Amino acid sequence: MSSIIWEVNRFKNEVGVRAASADHDTDEMKKAESFHKSMPGYDRTPLAELKNLSDVLGLGSIYVKDESERFGLNAFKGLGASYAMAKYFAGRLDIELADFTFDELLGRIPGHPPVIFSTATDGNHGKGVAWASELFKQKSRVYMPEGTADSRLDAVLEYGAGGAVTEMNYEDTVEYVREISRKNGWVHIQDTSWEGYTELPMYIMQGYMTIIAEIEGQLQGRRLSGVSHIILQAGVGSFAGAMAAAVYNLTDGRPPHIIVVEPQRADCLHRSAKSEDGRPVRVHGSLDSMMAGLSCGAPNPADWEILKSVADGFASCADSISATGMRILGNPAGEDSKVISGESGALPLGFLYEVMTNEEYGNLKEELGLDAGSSVLTISTEGDTDPVNYRSVVWGERTGTDKMDGGKYMTEIKGE
């Protein structure tokens, strides 16, 4: 099987993207950025321009937004979790969040019944939920799918959460948490939506838009309108959908070429793009990939509506593509900045490198219009969140591990 399987998006629709992205306009983006700026530990994450690599690949410019430094969490997910919690509390208090800083909001919460936030996660989202819960002086319960690295569970426990690794895949773990949250009265804070559960996922996506607000400022005079291509990695699609919507609205409906990349064993968006009717398609069974943060089998319906309306196409990628990106970013060309990028974070750069250097993808390179005039933006969404695998990949030849399918049983809950 080819390392990259490409599907052109046949469902692009300007009317559809305007409707689907309405909750992610520039006003909402500025509100999210303003609130995040008031939070303890906030700092704008770096935007690196890889000038030497762009010369090597024959491109005009390559930018990498490095989210490994976000709130000390080694990943971007804290943006969504913290903003969703802030919006949740603002709703309970019947106030407009835009009128309050983090400290002002926190001062209003005491006296109200405490909350237990729950979630299912491949790692980074759960860590963001645990961190934000501690920040808001609440509790959390975090459940992870089969095969989750011990380091990812340990990272959650460090923030006082109760945590467990299940013997189910990601989607089944989400459904499990959905049910036990309903029974226990917990607030389920999940980065995907379903019928009757759309508000908190929308808030999470709005929180992610702070990334685009920062990039627009960091590009200064060049601005996003000068970027020709943006490559976005996707699991359920919340991150990619939020980025695509924000970019679409910020460029007045004239976005760059948007390319979505996924793991081959969890390529639900790619398969949805191949469907006859454009409806979301779920991938069942084991979703094993070293790209744990992207190993999701069912698209977020709201995000799929955005991406199918605006993306140019969807690429299903082998683990080896991510490994290539990890090695290149960790061992930069010339005087380019070094970026410690984990398995999910490095996939866009790995895709770009493979398309530009492998003759097998010459037609795809031409179809995408990648040439000396191209300015390409990627976002490294995580650092070395699995340190053992990161070192193995960057120092050696490992590109992932095969894991046996699990059953339906829960391991012991740890923490708290």
Host domain of residue 121: 78-198
Among residues 122, 172, 288, 386, the one annotated as catalytic is 122
Split into its structural domains, the chain has a count of 2
Do 246 and 180 belong together in one domain? no
Q: Nearest 5°: CA angle at 43, between 62 and 296? A: 65
Do 313 and 381 belong together in one domain? yes
CATH number at residue 170: 3.40.50.1100
Q: Which residues pair with 5 in a beta bridge?
A: 316
On whether residue 232 sits in a domain, the answer given is yes
Do 109 and 8 belong together in one domain? no
On whether residue 16 sits in a domain, the answer given is yes
Do 129 and 86 belong together in one domain? yes
- Does 77 qualify as catalytic in the annotation? yes
At residue 7, the 3 state secondary structure works out as strand
Do 208 and 340 belong together in one domain? yes
Q: Which residues pair with 7 in a beta bridge?
A: 314
- Report the pLDDT value the prediction gives residue 274, as an integer from 0 to 100: 96
Do 134 and 233 belong together in one domain? no
Do 45 and 64 belong together in one domain? yes
Distances (CA, A) of 119 to 60, 186, 239, 413: 41, 10, 17, 14
pTM: 0.93
- Does 274 qualify as catalytic in the annotation? no
Do 214 and 194 belong together in one domain? no
Among residues 31, 65, 66, 77, the one annotated as catalytic is 77
Q: Which helix (H) or strand (E) holds 327?
A: helix 319-330
Rounded Cα distance between 133 and 156, Å, is 11
Note whether 270 and 8 are within 8 A (CB).
no
Per-residue pLDDT in tens (0 to 9) along the chain, 416 residues: 789 999 999 999 888 888 888 899 999 999 999 999 999 999 999 999 999 999 999 999 999 999 999 999 999 999 999 999 999 999 999 999 999 999 999 999 988 889 999 999 987 999 999 999 999 999 999 999 988 888 888 888 999 999 899 999 888 999 999 999 999 999 999 999 999 999 999 999 999 999 999 999 999 766 888 999 999 999 999 999 999 999 999 999 999 999 999 999 999 999 999 999 999 999 988 788 999 889 888 999 999 999 999 999 999 999 999 999 999 999 999 999 999 999 999 999 999 999 999 999 999 999 999 999 999 999 999 999 999 999 999 987 554 443 323 333 354 556 66
Rounded Cα distance between 394 and 385, Å, is 14
